Structure 1
């Protein structure tokens, strides 16, 4: 049940077209594992690939659903939404740790973006990688923890620099999410 065609030749689904008791196909469920990754628009091709080949392969490999937002005028980033059922598991890494398909896909998407940076200049060693993730306001407490203890433990264990920004710092591509 597709909506009207846009100038870009893409069809959009509108929730109003679905009866109240029918869920939108591939909708994010309340128990799903969901990641929202901000990707620079100039690097999005490393996730999509020619004709969508790479993103299709990532979906097949991980069994996760991956959506890439449309370009928003004036915004240099796009949101990549990766999600799957929390009940499913994939093997991950050399020791066969079990993770959700969304978790597996998140790391594969990230690896593709980082790999593109490494190919860009053979003489520059990558020392700093910046990742921007969106966390829903209902879940940010789980990341911060009481008195900031969870985020501090993550910083100590990973030696990563973690900054949590307010909604005032959201890029335009995130406003509608």
Structure 2
């Protein structure tokens, strides 16, 4: 089921464990990252006098070169003593103009990013198009680091997309009932707004002229029967 070619590389006998990893996790991860099938010659089949062990890589030429690069990286890390500090190397198979981002992730979140059998990290890589690696995948004995580096390679957009996916995975599975940092969420305070029915500031309408009140000076003169120039009660003697 693996189309393409195969290539054999030799690794030092003492480093076979580095490539296979605890319970085969590292070799699984290397296969997942590269897309190639990686087979290490079993102890029973290896030449007991040889100082190296043959590793067979099967896949497309790009997958094989990526697998070889990953194996070399893993061996180099082991050489350095697995301090977990890996310089930002440019990997084979990453487009030109690529960027690399390193996220710090707490150890207890690493499993969430990888997912069962590597499913989560695989789907995040597929969705974003970026390459996501956890370095070191396993902390060496005696290393008390509380964080692991997640390396994301790709174009600017791919890296940004992968970063969001990783953050979502970490926050989605956050332990419940964990206090929210900074205490209670702040209620956003809005000043009370004036009801819109209020008119513009100014004198109340009743004081403004022309609101239906009769203007001064338009009253008719007094009716003639009240004309005081006539003698009162003229009809009486």
When normalised by structure 1's length, the TM-score is: 0.50
The structure that has the greater radius of gyration is: 2
For normalisation by structure 2, the TM-score amounts to 0.38
The answer to which structure, 1 or 2, has the higher relative contact order (CA under 8 A, 6+ apart) is: 1
